[in-house]
Structure 1
């Protein structure tokens, strides 16, 4: 990649000393990566799971470097315009950093990066507020998946249960969640107990950049939507 201008001083005001030092470390790390990798990818994510993402990142550790966090800090690191960009043209990447996004510096071939991102997905239990992907209803009768010790806890989750000869019994049909509606804290807990996973952690490519071109995988956001530093 072209020679970097990463030694240019950057002002990160209104932060405590520890916070400023942390942000400056991120700025330096991003600028160092811009010098040492051939391409930059902007990606978005949904249903982020830190442990799952760490595993994904570890798979590419030898060839790539990922950055997540404050979009503003990442924008400042790369440069927000042609006047302050660290490498010619890389400010175009900054304009794509909004919402739940991150950047990946890599030396992998384009086809390999696209395959890895497009194929990656991990299922997990949905959290409170997530949209239910299906209707889950429990029918009246014996709930063999629950032990008698769990009966008080299930009642606290709003389930109409009782103990019948040491067994947990549902006294009437009970709807845990409705498809397309947000999960309550109680619904999320019950789904976890039932082993039903409704959240899918995915990463989506937004754009690929190198000194020769910027390739968009989705529609480019308006410049006015980009967060200011």
Structure 2
């Protein structure tokens, strides 16, 4: 019997994702940027969206570079301790690389970046785990914005729907979410289907380092800069989904 062309074995050894070479490239990129750019910022992301970070990368690529990678890899690039850092006090930036944060290397002044960050935001759809900012209620009646083929999906999300003469209809009042309560995955999907964005994508500049002024804290935190290097806590691996936001070096 002839062998099927589909019967092929694929070696999983060739599917290594984000291995040592990838990590080393991020480290090298960060060290290159430390030399190239006069100003560095650690930014914190609220309501993370990769597509919006990519848009910012394109907008700022002329004179800046965004890097958004695993925190421990970025820490190595900057230097985790005084002994490792290539510039004085860069290890203080490393200590603030926790949670959903990234690095901004730029030729723009500190004043320009802080003013921009204060005023920049983008409306986005909320995800599960987000605390609802308002109560959303759907009254009983037709939902003409949805096609009849959507009815089973809406019902699976918990909406009390049925088809009446081919029109999706809610047969009783339904509260999608309540202000101050955490959204479930189903509630977040319903809000997106309804076209009701509730979240804001923002960047907060936690701290900065400039070749002229050195380190400066912009958001108060509990980090002890006088803590011995050996006592620096190791961050748990909770940032596997983070991506490096590459930028042009030109």
1:37: how far off? 0.7
1:131: how far off? 1.8
Q: Structure 1 runs of 4+ off > 3 angstroms?
A: 223-227
Supply the distance in 1 between the matched residues of 2:216 and 2:223 (Cα, whole angstroms).
16
**Deviates further, 213-222 or 133-142:** 213-222
1:215: how far off? 1.6
1:17: how far off? 9.6
Q: Tell me the equivalent position of 2:207.
A: 207
Supply the distance in 1 between the matched residues of 2:166 and 2:186 (Cα, whole angstroms).
24
1:67: how far off? 1.2
> Which secondary structure state, in structure 1, belongs to the residue aligned with residue 215 of structure 2?
strand
Change (3 A) 1:18 1:115: closer
Q: Tell me the equivalent position of 1:36.
A: 36
Change (3 A) 1:104 1:136: same
Q: Tell me the equivalent position of 1:101.
A: 101
Change (3 A) 1:227 1:202: farther
Total equivalences in the alignment: 214
Q: Tell me the equivalent position of 2:160.
A: 160
Structure 2, unaligned runs of 5 or more: 1-15, 236-250
Name the Cα RMSD after superposition: 2.0
> Which secondary structure state, in structure 2, belongs to the residue aligned with residue 97 of structure 1?
coil
Supply the distance in 2 between the matched residues of 1:155 and 1:55 (Cα, whole angstroms).
35
1:126: how far off? 1.4
- After superposition, the C-alpha distances for 1:96-115 in whole angstroms (9 at most, x for unaligned) are 11111111111112221112
Q: Does 1:131 align with 2:131?
A: yes
Supply the distance in 1 between the matched residues of 2:233 and 2:63 (Cα, whole angstroms).
30
Q: TM-score, normalised by structure 1?
A: 0.86
Aligned counterparts, 1:1-229, within 5 A: 19-211=19-211, 212-223=213-224, 227-228=233-234
> Which secondary structure state, in structure 2, belongs to the residue aligned with residue 144 of structure 1?
coil
Q: TM-score, normalised by structure 2?
A: 0.79
Supply the distance in 2 between the matched residues of 1:191 and 1:142 (Cα, whole angstroms).
17
1:228: how far off? 2.4
1:168: how far off? 2.0
Change (3 A) 1:200 1:226: farther
Q: Tell me the equivalent position of 1:13.
A: none
Supply the distance in 2 between the matched residues of 1:82 and 1:49 (Cα, whole angstroms).
33
Supply the distance in 1 between the matched residues of 2:79 and 2:185 (Cα, whole angstroms).
41
